[in-house]
């Protein structure tokens, strides 16, 4: 089993749609969770950190379910500019800052 698993997609949605991405992780000791966004041929950029049960930033909502070892990202009112790959990332636990990356979910927002 992979340490961090995501549906690779692609998710093709029309502008204005609501889309949700799911992610599961295997290490129950993990304490920190993140969503990164990666545009084609660019570096990953931090979208949201999730330190408690979840948080919201504008059109983006992240939720964490520790019991089920499950993280989600909800994007409301999708924009063309939201088209990218979304990476689910888990801090591996322990004393280091090591991050474990999912392989990413590709989102394509259609006009």
Q: Which of 28, 67, 96, 111 binds another protein (CB under 8 A)?
A: 96
How far apart are CB 91 and another protein at their closest, in Å? Answer: 5
Q: Read off the tokens for 74.
A: 């909800």
Residue 80 binds another protein (CB under 8 A): no
Q: Cα 67 vs. chain centroid, distance in angstroms?
A: 18
Residue 98 binds another protein (CB under 8 A): yes
Residue 24 binds another protein (CB under 8 A): no
Residue 11 or 78: the one with the smaller Cβ distance to another protein is 11
Q: Cα 69 vs. chain centroid, distance in angstroms?
A: 13
Q: Are the C-beta atoms of 111 and 80 separated by less than 8 Å?
A: yes
10 Å CB burial of residue 48 (0-12, 13-18, 19+) is middle
x-or-dash pattern for another protein, window 37-66, by CB under 8 A?
-----xxxxx--x-----------------
How far apart are CB 11 and another protein at their closest, in Å? Answer: 17
Q: Read off the tokens for 10.
A: 């692609």
Q: Are the C-beta atoms of 73 and 87 separated by less than 8 Å?
A: no
Under the rule (CB under 8 A), what is the footprint of another protein?
Answer: 32, 34, 42-46, 49, 87, 91, 96-99, 101-104
């Amino acid at each position: 089993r992979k340490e961090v698993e995501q549906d690779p997609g692609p998710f093709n949605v029309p502008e204005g749609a609501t889309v949700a991405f799911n992610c599961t992780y295997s290490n129950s000791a993990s304490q920190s969770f993140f969503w990164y966004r990666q545009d084609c041929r660019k570096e990953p950029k931090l979208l949201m950190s999730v330190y408690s049960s979840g948080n919201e930033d504008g059109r983006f909502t992240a939720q964490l379910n520790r019991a089920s070892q499950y993280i989600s990202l909800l994007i409301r009112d999708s924009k063309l500019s939201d088209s990218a790959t979304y990476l689910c990332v888990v801090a591996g636990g322990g004393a280091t800052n090591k991050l474990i990356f999912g392989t990413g979910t590709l989102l394509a927002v259609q006009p």
